[in-house]
Every structure is written in structure tokens, then in C-alpha cells.
Amino acid sequence: MDDQITLGIIAIVLGTLVGVVLFVPFVAISYRRRGGLSLGRSLLWAAALVYFLAIWTYTLLPLPDPDAIRCVGTNLDPLALVDDVRTAVGRSDNPWLDPLTLQLLLNVLLFVPLGFFLRVLGGRGILTALLVGFGLSAFIETTQLTGVWGLYPCAYRVFDVDDMLTNTTGAVVGSILSLVVPRRHRGMAQAPDADRPRPVTRGRRVIAMLCDVLGITMSVIAVGTATQLWLQFVVGDRQAVLDGEIADAVSSVVPAAVWLVLILVTGRSVGDLAVQLRYRGGPLPTPLSRLLRWAGGVSGWVLLGYLPGWGQLAASVFALASAVLLFTTARGRGLPGIVSGMRLEDAREDANGDDEVDAGRVSPARPGTPAPRRRGSRRPD
């Protein structure tokens, strides 16, 4: 029982780590294909991620000590499960609780979520569930038969065709059960109203900020690791690796510079791009406004943290101010909107506003004539 709990914890931890890495692209795809991010569908994708990792941990782990493994045989008789059921019925008053029956039922249940996820998240039907279920089960059984593809001298778990049959049955059952989910909630097809502008909410801004924080944090880790490897194996400066000062400086400046270029070119950060938001307008020239928008975002937080002396304190104050302003400013425009003077809007709104007026393509409204409102827009902050 302790081993099973440990394997479950491993699956959850690995699922969390992989989910963090995939969070930004997942948000971006959701906003482009479905127009937004729903809690239910997000939880379903998270459950699918943990499920697939659990399949791996429960079927292949723990890996045994190579010196202590016991080679096992194979079961190539596809009707052996019938004999198991007969044995269970003959020797037990309650065959449903017999270990042989429970083993068969658990093999079926193990793949029921697979068929469910394939239809609800992937939009695939029974035939796909059957083929994927059989293929995945065959891959697992073959991995066990080959001793993890030659890692061990022989199989340490039984190759069983009955497992392939019961696993495939479970995938088909899951696909059938998923029919209770309404059709409009199934599949990955682009929603017909995905390009329609949505209200700019604080929750949406929170997701954008989270994407920026995760994106730049992973960039800092990747750049810092690459710098340390370069110093160790290319430059050969072991002392610089131990000091870490060069890696700290590079890992702070490079991601912030990437965010700066992105915002100067597109006017939007990684988080803005993910959730389809943009800052526009304001009293200052566009390049200066975008520079201030960059400084008021996650890059300012990263660079402040690197400053000597009071840097960490300044970064903490910056983060606190950002959080407070997120929930106290209109639409959650926050610190970037305050320092740049720009307003926050849905990036899918019609581009008939300030940019076209500034470019001379649209004449300003005559005095006393109400300016036309863009479809799906709100009043400026």
C-alpha cells in the first residue's frame, strides 16, 4: 500500500511540474481556439496529464535493483482470463472480491479514463479509443517483456495478452461513458465565437501576470543553467561557476531584454499574448509608453531583484504594489497601465481607435459628435 501511495505522489508531482512548463502554451491555445479559459476544462486537462503520468508510474515503476531481479515468463493465451474468472467463481462465495477478478476489473478501470479523455478532450470516438488503448497497452507490455528495452537482462514483470484485452476494453468503455458529456463540450475544434472580444476582467489579468511570471522564471532558470554549463565546459572557469555572479547577471538581463524587445515590437508581453490583451493609447509617444509598460511589468521585478543592497526588498515592494494595483485599478490594468498611462483592452477588438486616428486614416469626430464605440469595447479607463 505504501508503494502505491508513493507512486501516486510521484505522478502528481511530475504532473504538476509538467503542467507548470506547459501552462503558458496551454493558456494561449485555449484563448485562440475556445476564446477563453474555463476552470472545468483546465481541471480536466490537468487530470489527463496526471493520469498519463500515473499510467507510467504504476506500470513501470519502481525499477528493481538489476542484481536482485527475478526473470518471469509470459502469458500468450488470450483466453486465460476466462479460466481466472471460473477459478474465482469456484473458490469464493463472493467472486467479485476474489484477487483474480479484482485484477481483471482493475485492468479495465485503469484504461477507462483514457477513452473518456480521448473523446471529451480530443474529440475522438470508439475506434480511436480501441486503437489507442490497444497500442498503449501493447507498448507497456512490450516494455516489460524486453526488460525496459534492454535496460535489464530479462523481463521482471509478466507479459500478459489478457492485460492488453482488458486495458483495451476499458478504453472502449470510457469512450462510451463519455457520451454523457454534451457534444458542445467535447473536442478541440475551434469555437465559432473564439475571435469575439470578451470583457477584460481582473481574473484574466491574473492569468496574464501568472503567464509572465512563469515564463520569465523558466527563462531565468534556463539561461542561468546554460551560462553555468558554458562556464564549466567551454570556458573551464570553475571559480566563476561556484561564485554564480556571472550566471545571476546573465539570467536576469537576458530574459528582461527578450521581454523588452517583444513589448517594443508588439506592444504586448508573453502574458498579454497568451490571454489576448493589449495596452493601447495614452498621452505619451508609443515607444516611450511601451518602454514604461515593460518597466512596470515582470521585467522590472526581475531586474530590481538583481540590484545589490536593497534589491530584494525593492523587488518585494514592487511585487506587492503590482498585486494591490491589480485589484484596485479599472479592469486590473495595474502598475503597467499606471506608469505608461495606457488603457487595457481585448486584443480582438476592432482596430478603429487611437492607432488609426494617429495614423491619419480616420478623421477625428467633429465637436459635439459622439465618437463611435468599437464593437465589444468598454469605456476607456
For position 2, what pLDDT does the model report? 56
The answer to whether position 375 is within a domain reads no
The answer to whether position 371 is within a domain reads no
**Strand 74-75 versus strand 159-160 pairing type:** parallel
Q: Are residues 272 and 159 in the same domain?
A: no
Those residues with Cβ within 8 angstroms of residue 65's Cβ, 6 or more apart along the chain or in another chain: none
Q: Are residues 247 and 315 in the same domain?
A: yes
Q: Are residues 272 and 321 in the same domain?
A: yes
Split at pLDDT 50, 70, 90, the class of 316 is very high
Q: Are residues 284 and 154 in the same domain?
A: no
Domain stop point among 14, 42, 62: 62
Q: Are residues 211 and 352 in the same domain?
A: yes
Those residues with Cβ within 8 angstroms of residue 196's Cβ, 6 or more apart along the chain or in another chain: 35, 348, 376
The answer to whether position 368 is within a domain reads no
Per-residue pLDDT of 8-22, as tens digits, reads 787 888 888 888 899
Q: Are residues 338 and 223 in the same domain?
A: yes
With 50 as the cut, is the pLDDT of residue 375 above it?
A: no
Query: Rounded distance, CA 59 to CA 158, Å?
Result: 11
The answer to whether position 53 is within a domain reads yes
What is the span of the domain harbouring residue 331?
202-359
Q: Are residues 208 and 306 in the same domain?
A: yes
Which range among 143-147, 336-340, 377-381 has the greatest average pLDDT?
336-340
Domain stop point among 179, 195, 211: 195
Per-residue pLDDT of 148-177, as tens digits, reads 888 888 888 888 888 899 999 999 999 999
Q: Are residues 354 and 206 in the same domain?
A: yes
The answer to whether position 370 is within a domain reads no
Q: Are residues 220 and 318 in the same domain?
A: yes
Those residues with Cβ within 8 angstroms of residue 111's Cβ, 6 or more apart along the chain or in another chain: 133, 136, 137, 166, 167, 168, 169, 170, 171, 174
The answer to whether position 235 is within a domain reads yes
Question: How close are the terminal C-alpha atoms of the chain, in Å?
Answer: 57
Per-residue pLDDT of 63-97, as tens digits, reads 777 777 788 878 777 777 777 777 777 676 666 67
Q: Are 73 and 158 in contact (CB under 8 A)?
A: yes
Domain stop point among 195, 228, 253: 195
Tally of domains within the chain: 3
Q: Are residues 71 and 58 in the same domain?
A: no
Look at 25-29, 60-64, 159-163, 194-198 and tell me which has the smallest mean pLDDT.
60-64
Mean pLDDT of 236-257: 92
With 50 as the cut, is the pLDDT of residue 373 above it?
A: no
Query: Rounded distance, CA 138 to CA 172, Å?
Result: 15
Q: Give the long-range contacts of residues 321-325, CB within 8 A, separation 24 or more.
A: 322/209, 322/296
The answer to whether position 378 is within a domain reads no
The answer to whether position 90 is within a domain reads yes
Q: Are 188 and 121 in contact (CB under 8 A)?
A: yes
Per-residue pLDDT of 121-157, as tens digits, reads 998 999 999 999 999 999 998 988 888 888 888 888 8
- Percent of the chain at pLDDT > 90 equals 53
Q: Are residues 32 and 110 in the same domain?
A: no
Mean pLDDT of 278-287: 92
Q: Are residues 214 and 239 in the same domain?
A: yes
